[in-house]
Structure 1
Amino acid sequence: MELHLGMDQDPMKSLWVKIKGNTGAGEVTVGVGYRPPDQDNRADKALYRQIGAALCSQTVVLTVDFNHPSVCWKDNTAGHKPTKKFLECVDDNFLLQMVEEPIRKGAMLDLVLTNNEGLVANVEPKSSLGCSDHNMVEFKTLRVAWGVRSKLTTLDFRRADFGFLSDLLGRVTWVKTLYEREGQGSWLLFKDHLL
């Protein structure tokens, strides 16, 4: 196993480690960090750039205390603008949140995110280390998933022409089209137009 360490230059406390497996086993980039609760928008943008850069063509596990207690992971919703921006970053980068139960004070602050569904297993909260008010999160990375690329086809929304899409959807008379339709029927009709 070979390790490559990289400290960030942005105003975010983080450490990135690239772990190379034995021949043919692939590699995994592991990011560890802390986002203070009062972090400003500039630092948040720097964090999201780091995440995007790490995900370019790598298998990634990201463990960070993001300090976004208002995220509802079940519904993928948030109440505050900074938290919504965080969820957008998670969604835009197709990250999966692997922690299933609150770890600290009833909230999921310490997260394990990955872009490879079969990579992380056995995620368990543990007690705190020393005098810290943070609990540890223990998990395993499965080597068989290191070099495996997902066969799931995903769209790259960063390359989309949203102006053109908005123009096309703006040509539909939605009030007339969706008149007297139930929620599911409206959604299916909208989805058909969108696709």
Structure 2
Amino acid sequence: MCVCLQGYGLIGITETWWDRSYDWSVGMEGYGLFRKDRQGRRGGGVTLYVSDQLECMELYLGMDEELTESLWVRIKGSAGAGDIIAGVCYRPPDQGDRADEALYRQTGAASCSQALVLLRDFNHPDICWRGNTAEHKQSRKFLECVDDNFLLQVIEEPMRRGTMLDLILTNKEGLVGDVKLKGSLGGSDHKMVEFRILRAARRACSKLTTLDFRRADSGLFRDLLGRIPWDKALEGSHTGGKGCHPEGP
């Protein structure tokens, strides 16, 4: 019903709790389905629905993907626009270091693209995003991954019981906008997040001034160099810096 009313182009869901018994009921008309169910135990699972109007393909980053609950899809850009990689990940609260490292390697590979939008439930409630600090070692490792890959976290409000577990990460300023928190879906205790992917992303304005040496007056530069008393400067440097001393002649 939400999809029919809003006409979303991309829908990411974490903790689907699906298995093969759901194969007949999880499709949606007008959308391609990408899913990864948790194997061997109950719970977890992630899925991406992509509108049939968008040309896309699933990506396999080839880095211990069996350890992680993650999906990566490349969406082809329209004429004059680059492709976008969309990812959805779920990190269980009890996930070990090996699976964390595999997920960070995947994130690093995906962030090399020109445009990345990553939806995640990372379960790091101790992270303070304003100060970019965390209490626990695993949370600090996650912050290192975010910093090392130059990712931006765009959600500002807590979404679950006053904590910020569900995140939207991107590697391009201005790519994600109009972020809104919506009501919960069904009996979930997580809020839904609605946002726009802006194809024509803004470029960050740089205030760094650079010099254009091609416009320099080389004749004046040589003239100024010729006026420097090199013999006295060199003499001072070989006599303990006498000629350069503030109190010298």
Partner of 1:144: 200
- Partners of 1:76 and 1:41 lie apart in 2 by 21
Offset of 1:56 from its aligned partner? 1.7
Is residue 2:144 matched to residue 1:88? Answer: yes
Q: Which whole-Å CA distance do the structure 2 matches of 1:136 and 1:63 have between them?
A: 12
Question: How far does residue 7 in structure 1 lie from its aligned partner after superposition?
Answer: 5.6
Matched, 1:4 2:60: no
C-alpha distance in structure 2 between counterparts of 1:35 and 1:114, whole Å: 18
Deviation at 1:149, TM superposition (A): 7.3
Give the superposition deviation at 1:10: 3.4
Is 1:63 the counterpart of 2:116 in the alignment? Answer: no
1:126 corresponds to 2:179: no
Taking the aligned partners of 2:87 and 2:108, their CA distance within structure 1 comes to: 12
Fraction of identical pairs, as percent = 61
Selected match of 1:100 from 156, 159, 168: 156
Q: For the structure 1 residues 12 and 6, does the alpha-carbon distance in structure 2 shift closer, same or farther, using more than 3 Å as the test?
A: same
Gapped regions of structure 2 (runs ≥ 5) = 1-53, 207-249
8 Å contact kept, 1:7–1:14: no
Answer 1 or 2: higher relative contact order, Cα 8 Å, separation at least 6.
1
How far, CA to CA, are the matches of 2:59 and 2:192 in structure 1?
Answer: 22
Partner of 1:117: 173
Q: In proportion to residue count, which structure has more helix?
A: 1
1:51 aligned residue (107, 111, 114): 107
Output the CA distance in 1 between the equivalents of 2:73 and 2:113.
15
SS in 2 for 1:144: coil
When structure 1 is superposed on structure 2, of 11-20 and 82-91 the one drifting more is 11-20
One-letter identity of the residue aligned with 1:111:
L
Q: What does residue 87 of structure 2 align with?
A: 31
Counterpart residue number, 1:163: none
Q: Deviation at 1:150?
A: 6.4
Does the Cα contact within 8 Å between 2:151 and 2:170 map onto a contact in 1? Answer: yes
Q: Map Cα deviations across residues 18-65 of structure 1 (whole Å, 9 max, x no partner).
A: 111212211110111100000000000011011001012331011100
How far apart are the structure 2 equivalents of 1:118 and 1:112? 13
Q: 8 Å contact 2:181–2:191 — kept in the other structure?
A: yes
Structure 2 SS opposite 1:126 = strand
Tell me the TM-score normalized by structure 1.
0.72
SS in 1 for 2:200: helix
| Structure 2 residue identity aligned to 1:4 | M
The verdict on how the C-alpha distance between 1:137 and 1:3 changes in structure 2, with shifts beyond 3 A counting, is: same
Residue pair 1:13, 1:33 contacting (<8 A) in 2 also? yes
CA distance in 2, matches of 1:131, 1:6: 31
Spell out the pairing of 1:142-181 with structure 2 (5 A cutoff).
142-145=198-201
**1:123-168 deviation digits (Å, cap 9, x = unpaired):** 11112222323221111010112xx77687xxxxxxxxxxxxxxxx
Rg bigger for which structure?
2
Which runs of 5 or more residues in structure 1 are unaligned? 153-195
The count of corresponding residues between Structure 1 and Structure 2 is 150
**Shift >3 Å, 4+ stretches:** 148-152
